[in-house]
Amino acid sequence: MQRTIFPRMETALSSASYTTSPSTTRRLAARVAFMGVNEPARVMLTDCFRQFRIETVSVQEDFAHRMLNEKLDGCVIRLGPDATSIMETARTSPANNRIILYGLGGSAHDAMQYSKYGVNAIFTEPLERSATLKLVRATHSLVLHEFRRYVRVPVATEVGVTTGDGRRFTATSQDISSGGISLRGEVAAPGTSVEISFALLTLPRIWVRGIVTWQNKEEVEIGIKFDPQDERRMKIKEWIDAYLGS
């Protein structure tokens, strides 16, 4: 399986190669840059983002300069040898340190080496339209800065899980809120008590208790609700509030 908010510079990317249709007259609401994204993936991604009023632009060079001088709302980065430096540049940029980062290629497990940069979601290849559209739909509100009261922040990071009966496994987070987290990679029956641990960018590794509330065996996913009596979950809420710039 497979969000803050700054004014945009209308002419900043005038030299970039836009991938949007010239027939569109409606101004789109946000911009996502493509780094190392070639055809046919670029065509499919562009179409999926445009369905949610998000413009796409290909950035082939001077990425560091652009990160320091321009505001983008998201970036799709092909995972590989150059991905680490690109993500580091984005996360250390004053204007874009909270940019929504998408990885392209590889598996969720492969993406764990980039978890320190707070990769929000992964497009696995080969791209399949329904799965790609589903991921964009799940993350577009953060790109557009349209926050719900109980926002779920998409983020892909490694999560250690210990169940009440002593079983241990590692999974990949899909999204997190102040009340819970969804994971992919292992399943556990609803009602199972767990303690999980993970780290998120500026949030050092944290442990918090919870209970499995649902599972999807076909997609190998589970949802965990944090224990409201575990005060450690407040650190997660504080991190989300800071991440969203509230």
Give tens-digit pLDDT for 21-70: 433 434 567 999 999 899 999 999 999 999 999 999 998 777 777 777 88
The CA angle 201-152-211, to the nearest 5 degrees, is 90
User: At residue 124, what is the residue type?
Assistant: T
Whole-prediction pTM? 0.74
Q: Which of 143, 171, 190 is the last residue of a domain?
A: 143
Q: What is d(CA 20, CA 74) in angstroms, rounded to the nearest whole number?
A: 16
Give the side-chain half-sphere CA count within 13 A for 92.
Answer: 10
- Give domain status of residue 70, yes or no: yes
Q: What would the two tokens of residue 188 be?
A: 């556990």
Same domain for 124 and 30: yes
Query: What are the angstrom distances between the C-alpha of 76 and each of 23, 87, 236?
Result: 24, 10, 26
| Cα gap 126→233, rounded to integer Å | 37
Domain end among 118, 143, 168: 143
Give the 3-state secondary structure of 133-190: HHHHHHHHHHHCCCCCCCCCEECCCEEEEEECCCCEEEEEEEEECCCEEEEECCCCCC
Asked if the structure places residue 162 within a domain, the reply is: yes
* Residue 210 belongs to domain with CATH number: 2.40.10.220
Answer with the one of 143, 164, 193 that is the final residue of a domain.
Answer: 143
DSSP secondary structure string, 195-245? EEEEEETTEEEEEEEEEEEEEETTTTEEEEEEPTT-TTHHHHHHHHHHHTT
Q: pLDDT tens, 212-243?
A: 999 999 999 999 999 999 999 999 999 888 88
Same domain, yes or no, for 125 and 55? yes
Q: 228 and 134 in one domain? A: no
139 and 177 inside one domain: no
In a domain, 12, yes or no: no
The number of domains in the chain is 2
54: CATH: 3.40.50.2300
Q: Is the dihedral of CA 118, 182, 136, 235 positive or negative?
A: negative
Could you tell me if 51 and 119 lie in one domain?
Answer: yes
Same domain flag for 33 and 110: yes
pLDDT at 8: 33
Is there a domain that residue 4 lies in?
Answer: no
Are 124 and 169 in contact, with CB atoms under 8 Å apart?
no
R_g over Cα of the chain:
18
66-124 tens-digit pLDDT: 777 888 999 999 998 889 988 998 888 888 888 999 999 877 677 778 888 889 999 98
- Domain identity same for 26 and 138: yes
Tell me whether residue 186 is in a domain: yes
Residue 13 near residue 146, CB atoms below 8 Å: no
Q: Please tell me the predicted confidence (pLDDT) of residue 17.
A: 36
Q: How far apart are CA 114 and CA 100, in angstroms?
A: 14
What value does the mean pLDDT take over residues 143-167? Answer: 85
The two structure tokens encoding residue 93: 């940029």
The range of the structural domain enclosing residue 129 comes to 17-143
- On the question of pLDDT at 184 being above 70, the answer is yes
Q: Are residues 124 and 224 in the same domain?
A: no
Output the average pLDDT for the chain: 84
